[in-house]
Amino acid sequence: MFCSLRRVPLVLLIILVLLVSSACSRAGQSGSAEASAGSGRAIQNKGSDTIVNLALAWAEAYREVQPDVSIAVTGGGSGTGIASLINGTVDIANASREMKESEKEEARANGFDPVEHLIAIDALAVIVNLENPVDRLTIDQLADIFTGRITNWKDVGGNDEDIVLVSRETNSGTHVYFLEEVVRKGEKDNTDIFAPQTLLMPSSVGITSEIQRNPRAIGYDGLGYVSEHEKMLEVAKDAQSPYVMPSVATGADGSYPIARGLFMYTAGEPTGAIADYIAWIKGPAGQQIVADLGFVPLTEE
């Protein structure tokens, strides 16, 4: 009897520890979005590899504006970021494409309507090796090249060499955009796909590395990731349209035919620290970073 009574405090202590542990676990599983909205001090930001350098620069600059707000940025692709938003593990999903209707339906099934925030514009550059003599292509020619209907550079004014296709992997929003707007030429009923021999790269670095080393390669990348070690091509909507070089100016005025919006998505209308952060990104300081990194800042309109 004496021994059992002495064990009571220990048993109670164990029960208390288990209860606290369980409560903490449930709080963690409820998603970072809920935690961030409550504390206003931790923002989880994940998704598009096109946006990741921008997001890192924003996060670093914002630390000077709001030192008490922590922003964790990771890449992984637009699809990964959107999936994380849907399952409640991030506050902001970065995407270089619009959310699909199926993804929006998944979000609604999980109890929220995703809200889209346009945060920059990107002119998607078509790039080749510096030794490649080809300077310009139409959207039709690009579609034929990336589907494999054209396989030799001589058919588009280049050398008599096989074309090597380089693309982002399928989880990339950049891949999805290029598929829909270039390979399928923006035609909703078009079911063309990338040629099976296309090299799928997990990052922009993979694309630029292949382009730099291979005179026969062609790929595409966000304007902010293109360097002097790759050659950008002028692109025309069709054979009757003017050829336009990708740039901040041509992306902003809409004359370059492969320009797209870059987005952040939140689980419903953001509040607190998340709302403040997105407002800062869309303001003068955030948009100056967009321009500094070679992307197209938002206009006042």
Which tokens belong to 26?
């449930």
Which tokens belong to 24?
């903490």
User: What distances in angstroms separate CA 21 from CA 35, 39, 158, one per listed residue?
Assistant: 17, 20, 66
The full length of the chain comes to: 301
Query: Which tops the pLDDT comparison, 241 or 35?
Result: 241
Confidence grade of residue 300 (pLDDT, cut at 50, 70, 90): low
Mean pLDDT estimate for the chain? 88
Amino acid at 135: D
CA dist 275 and 277 (Å) reads 5
Task: Classify domain 32-120+261-292 by CATH architecture.
Answer: 3-Layer(aba) Sandwich (3.40)
Per residue in 105-151, pLDDT (tens digit) is: 999 999 999 999 999 999 999 999 999 999 999 999 999 999 999 99
Q: Which CATH number among 3.40.190.10, 3.40.50.510, 3.30.460.40, 3.40.50.1820 corresponds to the domain 122-259?
A: 3.40.190.10
Question: Distance from CA of residue 10 to its chain's centroid?
Answer: 52
Instruction: Decide if pLDDT at 186 tops 50.
Output: yes
**Phi/psi zone of residue 218: left (φ > 0), alpha (ψ -120 to 50 degrees), beta?**
beta
In the predicted model, what is the mean pLDDT of residues 214-226? 94
In the predicted model, what is the mean pLDDT of residues 255-280? 96
Task: Please give the share of the chain, as a percent, with pLDDT higher than 70.
Answer: 86
Q: Where are the domains of the chain?
A: 32-120+261-292, 122-259
How do strand 217-222 and strand 114-128 relate by DSSP bridges?
A: antiparallel
pLDDT at 29: 34
CA dist 228 and 84 (Å) reads 35
3-state secondary structure of 92: strand
Token pair 């959107």 is at which residue?
82
Per residue in 58-114, pLDDT (tens digit) is: 999 999 999 999 999 999 999 999 999 999 999 999 999 999 999 999 999 999 999
| Fold matches, 32-120+261-292 and 122-259 | yes
Supply the pTM of this predicted model. 0.78
Measured over the CA atoms of residue 188, residue 179, residue 53 and residue 298, the dihedral's sign is negative
